[in-house]
Amino acid sequence: MNPPSPTTIDVALGARSYPVWIGRGLLGDSARWRAMLRGRHVLVASNTTVAPLYLERVARGLDGLQWSSFLLDDGEAHKSFANVERALAALAGLGATRDACVIALGGGVVGDLAGFSAACWMRGIDFIQMPTTLLAMVDSSVGGKTGVNLPAGKNLVGAFHQPRAVVADIDTLATLPDREYRAGLAEVIKGAAIGDEPFFAWLEAHAGALAARDETAVVEAIARKLRYKAGVVARDETEQGERALLNLGHTFGHALETAGRYTTLLHGEGVAVGMLLAARLSERLGMAGAADTARLQRLLETTGLPAAVPAGFDPEQLLALMRLDKKNTAGTLRLILWRGIGRAEIVGGVAGEEVLAVLREAIASA
C-alpha cells in the first residue's frame, strides 16, 4: 500500500528551490527522498539518542549506496567546531565526492552542524534534512541557516546553505519528550507573534489540542509556521532585511542559553523568555501596549513554556553577550521588537540602559 500523501510546502529559491514534506511514514518512504540523491556517497549524521530510534528506517532506503553514519553526543554543547572537523573526517573516510549527500537525522543541533559540514566539504555538497524534533520541523530544517556555537556565543560561525529537501516524518514525534515538544511550540508561537495575528489567535484556540499532540492540529501548526517562514526566506534568503524578524526573542534568548552554558534553558525556552523580554522592552520604548505582552505571556504559560528568567542570571553579562549578536551594527544594538501581536519590527540603536532595565526587572522578580 502506498503511504498517504504528505503535506508539501515549496521553498521558492529559483534553481535551489526545494520541497518540505510533512506527514507520517516519510523516513520509510525512501522512493520519495532517494530521488534527491545525485551520487553514490551518503553520510547520515545523527546523535546517540536519535540513531538507535530511527537510523535503521533511513538505512533501509540506502541499499546499494556507499554510506556511513556519524553520531554526535547528545546536547547543544556538542554543536561545536571540533565536531564539524570530525564530520568532515567522516566524509573523507567515506571517500565522499562532490556529488555526495549528507543526511541530517535529528533535531536542530544535528541539522545545523550537519548542514554546515555539508557547506564546508569540497566547498559545498548536498544535504537533506530529516528533522525529528518539533522545533527542527517547524524551524531549523528550513531556510538554510547552518552553523555551530563558539564559547563566545551562539551560532557565531556558519553559512547559508539550503537543503535539497526536508523530510518531516511526524511519526518520530512519538518518542520526543514533552519538554522538547513544548520548546518546539515556542518557535511556532514566534512565527505568529512576528507576522500572523490570525495564526496567533488560532494557536490560542488550539493550545489544548496542541498540548495533547492532536495530529491534525500538529500538522496544521507545522504547515502554517513553515508557509510563513518559507515566504520570508524566499524574499530574503541571506537576511539582508526582513529575515531578521525571524530572530524575535533570540537576542535575549541566545544570551540566556550561552550564559546558562546550555544546561539551564533549551533553545525554544530561551526564545519563549526572550520574546517576552522583547515585548516588555517594546512597551518600555512606547512601541506597544501591555495587553499584547499579557496575551503573549498567557499563550506561553498555557503551552507550558517558561515566561520568566530563571534565577541566577547576571544582567550585565547578558547585555555583554547581546552585544555580540550578529544583527548589531557598528557598536549599536539592533533588536527585533514589536508594535503588538503580528507586528514585529527591526529596531536599531537601542540603548543598552533600556535593555539593562528590562533585564534587571525580570531578574529581580525571578
Ligand X SMILES: O=C(O)C(=O)C[C@@H](O)[C@H](O)[C@H](O)COP(=O)(O)O
Ligand Y SMILES: NC(=O)c1ccc[n+]([C@@H]2O[C@H](COP(=O)([O-])OP(=O)(O)OC[C@H]3O[C@@H](n4cnc5c(N)ncnc54)[C@H](O)[C@@H]3O)[C@@H](O)[C@H]2O)c1
Tell me whether residue 145 is one of the annotated catalytic residues.
yes
Is the Cβ of residue 109 or residue 288 nearer to ligand Y in the bound state? 109
Q: Is 75 annotated as a binding residue?
A: yes
Is the Cβ of residue 29 or residue 187 nearer to ligand Y in the bound state? 187
3-state secondary structure of 126: strand
**Neighbour-count burial for 75-102, b at 16+ CB within 10 Å, e otherwise:** ebebbbeebbeebbebbeebebeeebbb
Please state, in angstroms and as integers, the Cα–Cα distance from residue 164 to each residue in 152, 171, 189, following that order: 31, 21, 26
**Please, where are the H alpha helices in 60-107?**
81-94
Tell me whether residue 239 is one of the annotated catalytic residues.
yes
Measure the CA–CA gap between 255 and 167, rounded to whole angstroms: 31
Q: Does the protein bind ligand Y through residue 175 (CB under 6 A)?
A: yes
The label of the residue with cell 546550555 reads 262
Residue numbers 291-350 binding ligand Y by CB under 6 A: none
Closest distance to ligand X from the beta carbon of 289 (Å): 26
Q: Does the protein bind ligand Y through residue 222 (CB under 6 A)?
A: no
Contact partner, 243, from ligand X, ligand Y, none, Cβ < 5-8 Å per class: ligand X
Residue numbers 172-191 binding ligand X by CB under 6 A: 187
Q: Does the protein bind ligand X through residue 247 (CB under 6 A)?
A: yes
- The DSSP code sequence of 291-358 is HHHHHHHHHHHHTT---SPPTT--HHHHHHHHTT-TT-BTTBEEEEEESSTT-EEEEEEE-HHHHHHH
Q: Does the protein bind ligand X through residue 227 (CB under 6 A)?
A: no
Contact partner, 247, from ligand X, ligand Y, none, Cβ < 5-8 Å per class: ligand X
Tell me whether residue 250 is one of the annotated catalytic residues.
yes
Closest distance to ligand X from the beta carbon of 235 (Å): 12
Is the Cβ of residue 106 or residue 315 nearer to ligand Y in the bound state? 106
- Which residue of 182, 250, 280, 334 would you call a contact of ligand X, by CB under 6 A? 250
Nearest to 163 by CA among 135, 138, 140: 140
Is the Cβ of residue 172 or residue 297 nearer to ligand Y in the bound state? 172
Pairing of strands 101-106, 66-72: unpaired
How many Cβ atoms from other residues are within 10 Å of residue 121's Cβ? 22
Contact present, 68 and 44 (Cβ < 8 Å):
yes
Q: Does the protein bind ligand X through residue 143 (CB under 6 A)?
A: yes
Residue numbers 70-109 binding ligand Y by CB under 6 A: 74, 76, 79, 106-109
Q: Is 109 annotated as a binding residue?
A: yes
Residues 242, 243, 249, 250, CA torsion sign: negative
- Which residue of 132, 282, 293, 297 would you call a contact of ligand Y, by CB under 6 A? 132
Q: Does the protein bind ligand X through residue 141 (CB under 6 A)?
A: no
Contact present, 67 and 43 (Cβ < 8 Å):
yes
Tell me whether residue 243 is one of the annotated catalytic residues.
yes
Residues 6+ apart with CB under 8 A from 95: 41, 66
| Residue 252 in grid coordinates | 535575549
Give how many residues touch ligand Y by CB under 6 A: 30
- Which residue of 57, 79, 145, 164 would you call a contact of ligand X, by CB under 6 A? 145
- Which residue of 11, 37, 50, 100 would you call a contact of ligand Y, by CB under 6 A? 50
Tell me whether residue 229 is one of the annotated catalytic residues.
yes
Nearest to 110 by CA among 59, 161, 30, 44: 44
Tell me whether residue 149 is one of the annotated catalytic residues.
no
| Residue 290 in grid coordinates | 501591555
Contact present, 313 and 214 (Cβ < 8 Å):
no
Contact present, 334 and 328 (Cβ < 8 Å):
yes
Q: Does the protein bind ligand X through residue 139 (CB under 6 A)?
A: yes
Contact partner, 326, from ligand X, ligand Y, none, Cβ < 5-8 Å per class: ligand X
Q: Does the protein bind ligand X through residue 246 (CB under 6 A)?
A: yes
Nearest to 306 by CA among 254, 253, 247, 357: 253
3-state secondary structure of 134: helix
Q: State the residues that interact with ligand Y by CB under 6 A.
A: 47, 49-50, 53, 74, 76, 79, 106-110, 112, 132-133, 135-136, 139-140, 143, 145, 155, 172, 175-176, 180, 183, 187, 267-268
Q: Which residues are catalytic?
A: 123, 145, 187, 229, 239, 243, 247, 250, 254, 267
Q: State the residues that interact with ligand X by CB under 6 A.
A: 139, 143, 145, 155, 187, 243, 246-247, 250, 326
